[in-house]
Amino acid sequence: MRIDLNGERVTTAAATLAALVEERGHDAASVATALDGAFVPRGLRGAALLEDGARVEILSPMQGG
């Protein structure tokens, strides 16, 4: 399916937000996620189903200033 990930159109085989985080190689414990504009806590990512055209944000903390 095709989704918008961090503003970029990508193709994924992931069915859930948790699977997408893993597929993209992120450490699930150190990222924040949103699906279609709504924050999704880490514990709920496995139940957050992706649909074609979904808007997903995966954000990593940044250091520096």
Q: What pTM was computed for the model?
A: 0.92
Per residue of the chain (65 residues), what is the pLDDT tens digit? 999 999 999 999 999 999 999 999 999 999 999 999 999 999 999 999 999 999 999 998 877 76
pLDDT at residue 27, rounded to an integer: 95
How do the domains of the chain map onto residue ranges? 2-59
Q: Which CATH class is domain 2-59?
A: alpha beta
17 burial via Cβ count (<10 Å: 0-12, 13-18, 19+) = buried
pLDDT at residue 62, rounded to an integer: 75
pLDDT at residue 65, rounded to an integer: 61
